[in-house]
């Protein structure tokens, strides 16, 4: 062991209690940070999994690629530069995918695609007795949809299968049904924008935990929605795809776009707002939690400053006997490093144990039965990269704190101290 290491080690060993407190401070900071990251990433993973239950992984939308490209260019130009357009993009007057069934068959043949369904979602009004409510009338093929999403699992009253069995069936979002006062078995009147109307029987109530679905959606068979909208049988408002993979969808999206010549969104893009919200919450939480580490770093700086003050006489004698300023700096920086590393390791251990325990015995929250997006349990992600990164950050903070504190050590002039002691 070098002289610097020996001196550092003996200094630390000579003051076990304050050193242990300092190390504990770092350990708490590291553990809290790791736990927070595990919790926030767990939240994102948890909700991503839930979103994937009710969302297609790829959605073909009724926006021609040239229109889509122009819109993107306009968005970019708004952010960064000036765009000169020779001709403004003209949006489709009729927002439907034409030839949707044929396109769906072609998309179903793409490798990696495990399910395809068509959806027609015109706006309309659902009336029960004298109560009218605005609604999105979501027309689906109930059988095909079962291979794309798990909406069928979220029917809390009645059944999804009844929708397949009854052409005039409707499944109402739970809040829409409450406002209408309708129950399974009641008959409601659906009216499309064009004035077409159709009487439907409520065959199920859906509770997804997602505002749009629960508040205002009425799921009907695809031909019913097309009829209410006044669309042809080959028109749809979207083609919904399920893929074997949930990430790395770029290549499949590219192929789907080439094939369909329509805009294709991934599930992340379709749920951008929710995912962005999680990221923002996560970032804010990390910043706040990061301060715990900074405070722990200050603890190290404070401990070293006290130690340097206590050891002024020893520093003077070391300098008098030939230790260079760098060697003296090295002693205290090494002490900071040792405390930082010890705290980081202890913090990693505490976090690992806590996360493992809560993964084995998760904290469960009260949940509404069937709600897809309800946060039902404290879901913790666990990734070795958290530990490495946060431990490294803690050690760097410890080193910075030490580097600041040791400036005093090299300002100690041996003669001043020795003269004072004489």
Using the rule CB under 8 A, is 323 a contact of another protein? yes
Using the rule CB under 8 A, is 361 a contact of another protein? no
Using the rule CB under 8 A, is 415 a contact of another protein? yes
- Cα gap 45→380, rounded to integer Å: 9
**Residue 10 or 167 having the CB closest to another protein:** 10
Among 73, 75, 245, 324, binds another protein (CB under 8 A): 324
Instruction: Yes or no: say if 355 and 42 are a contact pair by the CB < 8 Å rule.
Output: no
Stretch that binds another protein, among 217-225, 285-293, 325-333, 341-349 (CB under 8 A): 325-333
Give residues with Cβ within 8 angstroms of 79, minimum separation 6.
none
**Residue 201 or 314 having the CB closest to another protein:** 314
Min dist CB 315 to another protein, Å, is 10
**Residue 101 or 325 having the CB closest to another protein:** 325
Using the rule CB under 8 A, is 411 a contact of another protein? no
- Cα gap 9→31, rounded to integer Å: 25
Min dist CB 307 to another protein, Å, is 12
Sign (positive/negative) of CA torsion 312, 315, 319, 320?
positive
Using the rule CB under 8 A, is 277 a contact of another protein? no
Among 16, 248, 322, 384, binds another protein (CB under 8 A): 322
CA 290 to chain centre: 19
- Cα gap 160→300, rounded to integer Å: 62
Using the rule CB under 8 A, is 420 a contact of another protein? no
Using the rule CB under 8 A, is 357 a contact of another protein? no
DSSP three-state, residue 218: strand
Stretch that binds another protein, among 33-41, 80-88, 123-131, 414-422 (CB under 8 A): 414-422
Rounded to 5 degrees, φ, ψ at 285 are -65, -40
Tokens standing for 384? 């070795």
Helix residue spans in 321-376 (DSSP H): 325-360
Stretch that binds another protein, among 265-273, 310-318, 336-344, 348-356 (CB under 8 A): 310-318
Instruction: Yes or no: say if 266 and 253 are a contact pair by the CB < 8 Å rule.
Output: yes
Among 16, 88, 321, 384, binds another protein (CB under 8 A): 321
Give the residues across from 218 on adjacent strands: 137, 172
In this structure, the number of other CB atoms found within 10 A of the CB of residue 254 comes to: 11
Parallel/antiparallel/unpaired status of strands 187-192 and 155-158: unpaired
Using the rule CB under 8 A, is 247 a contact of another protein? no
Among 11, 240, 253, 263, binds another protein (CB under 8 A): 11
Interacting residue ranges for another protein, rule: CB under 8 A: 2-3, 6-7, 10-11, 13-14, 313-314, 316-327, 414-415, 418-419, 421-422
């Amino acid at each position: 062991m070098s002289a610097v290491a020996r001196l550092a080690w003996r200094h630390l060993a000579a003051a076990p209690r304050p050193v242990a407190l300092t190390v504990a401070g770092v350990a708490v900071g590291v553990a809290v940070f790791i736990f927070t990251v595990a919790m926030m990433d767990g939240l994102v993973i948890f909700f991503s999994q839930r979103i994937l239950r009710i969302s297609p992984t790829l959605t073909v939308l009724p926006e021609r690629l040239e229109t889509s490209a122009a819109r993107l260019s306009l968005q970019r130009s708004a952010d960064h530069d000036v765009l000169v357009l020779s001709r403004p993009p003209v949006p489709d007057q009729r927002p439907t995918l034409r030839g949707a069934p044929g396109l769906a068959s072609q998309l179903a043949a793409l490798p990696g695609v495990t399910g395809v369904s068509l959806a027609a979602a015109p706006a309309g009004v659902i009336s029960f007795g004298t109560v009218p409510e605005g609604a999105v009338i979501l027309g689906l093929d109930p059988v095909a949809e079962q291979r794309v999403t798990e909406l069928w699992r979220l029917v809390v009253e009645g059944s999804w299968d009844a929708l397949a069995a009854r052409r005039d069936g409707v499944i109402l979002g739970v809040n829409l049904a409450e406002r209408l006062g309708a129950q399974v078995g009641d008959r409601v009147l659906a009216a499309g924008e064009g004035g077409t109307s159709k009487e439907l029987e409520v065959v199920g109530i859906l509770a997804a935990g997602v505002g749009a679905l629960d508040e205002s959606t009425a799921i009907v068979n695809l031909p019913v929605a097309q009829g209410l909208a006044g669309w042809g049988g080959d028109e749809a408002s979207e083609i919904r795809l399920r893929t074997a993979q949930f990430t790395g969808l770029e290549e499949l999206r590219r192929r789907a776009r080439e094939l369909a010549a329509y805009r294709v969104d991934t599930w992340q893009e379709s749920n951008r707002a929710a995912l962005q919200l999680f990221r923002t919450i996560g970032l804010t939480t990390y910043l706040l939690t990061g301060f715990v580490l900074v405070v722990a770093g200050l603890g190290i700086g404070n401990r070293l400053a006290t130690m340097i003050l206590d050891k002024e006489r020893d520093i003077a004698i070391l300098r008098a006997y030939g230790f260079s300023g760098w060697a003296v700096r090295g002693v205290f920086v090494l002490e900071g490093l040792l405390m930082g590393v010890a705290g980081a390791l202890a913090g990693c251990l505490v976090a690992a144990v806590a996360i493992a325990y809560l993964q084995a015995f998760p904290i469960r929250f009260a949940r509404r039965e069937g709600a897809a997006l309800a946060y039902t349990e404290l879901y913790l992600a666990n990734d070795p990269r958290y530990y490495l990164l946060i431990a490294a950050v803690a050690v760097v903070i410890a080193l910075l704190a030490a580097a600041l504190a040791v400036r005093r050590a090299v300002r100690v002039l041996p003669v001043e101290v020795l003269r004072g002691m004489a």
